[in-house]
Every structure is written in structure tokens, then in C-alpha cells.
């Protein structure tokens, strides 16, 4: 157990809908990262937060948004869902978010868009 908690574990929804994925980092970790993993693209970095502030942005679509709350948990919002958004979404955390640290990954949310 990495100490990073993600909910829900599975999510099935329809095209055009909006969903929210939730992540609680390890105790003491200030930085949260979101990754998307699909079979053909591998693990793709979406966005990083540190202590409530956005720190880095990767290949995140405009339909997607995220935030980190004062209690350090983070939410990833996916809207106007398309079939291609079906993937495994991972949250990871680290202490300072400098990139010099190893990441601790949650068990992921499997999103299926039908």
C-alpha cells in the first residue's frame, strides 16, 4: 500500500458526461500528480499541484481540469467525455514535488466511457 488513496476504483459513464476523480496523497506529501494511462500511449503526465498551487502542466486537454484543496486532496474533473478518454487515471504524490523524489502512486481509477 503506497498510502495514496484514489476513489472511485472503477467508473462507467456515457459520452458527453462529466466525472470527478478524487485523490488523497500520502500523509506529509505536499505535491500531487495526475497521470493517464492507456494501452497505446503509456503513462502520460497531465498536471501537478504543490500545496494548492498548479506547478506543472502536461498533455491535459481543455475539457479536463484539476485542483488541490487546502487539506491537500486533489480532484480531477473530466467533462464532455469521449470514448477516447477511457483509460486508467493515476494519482501520485511526493513530499516536495521537486522531481528529485520518487513518486508514490495510488491504485488508479479505471474510467470506461461507453
CB of 96 to other proteins, least distance (A): 10
Per CB under 8 A, 42 contacts other proteins: yes
Q: What span, in angstroms and rounded, lies between the C-alpha atoms of 54 and 78? A: 17
Which positions from 84 to 113 touch other proteins by CB under 8 A, shown as an x/- string? ------x------xxxx-xxxxxxx-----
Q: Which is nearer to other proteins, 64 or 104 (CB)?
A: 104
Q: Which three cell numbers stand for residue 4?
A: 495514496
Q: Are 4 and 105 in contact (CB under 8 A)?
A: yes
Q: Which is nearer to other proteins, 13 or 105 (CB)?
A: 105
Listed as own residue / partner, the contacts of 40-49 with beta carbons closer than 8 Å and 24 or more positions apart are 43/90, 46/76, 47/76, 48/97, 49/74, 49/97
| Interaction site with other proteins (CB under 8 A) | 2, 4, 33, 35, 41-45, 48, 50, 55-56, 58, 90, 97-100, 102-108
Amino acid at each position: 500500500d503506497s498510502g495514496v488513496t484514489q476513489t472511485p476504483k472503477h467508473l462507467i459513464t456515457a459520452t458527453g458526461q462529466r466525472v470527478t476523480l478524487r485523490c488523497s496523497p500520502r500523509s506529509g506529501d505536499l505535491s500531487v500528480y495526475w497521470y493517464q494511462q492507456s494501452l497505446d500511449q503509456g503513462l502520460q503526465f497531465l498536471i501537478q499541484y504543490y500545496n494548492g498551487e498548479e506547478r506543472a502542466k502536461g498533455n491535459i486537454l481543455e475539457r479536463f481540469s484539476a485542483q488541490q484543496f487546502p487539506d491537500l486532496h486533489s480532484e480531477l474533473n473530466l467533462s464532455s467525455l469521449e470514448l477516447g478518454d477511457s483509460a486508467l487515471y493515476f494519482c501520485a504524490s511526493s513530499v516536495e514535488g521537486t522531481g528529485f523524489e520518487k513518486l508514490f502512486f495510488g491504485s488508479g481509477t479505471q474510467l470506461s466511457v461507453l
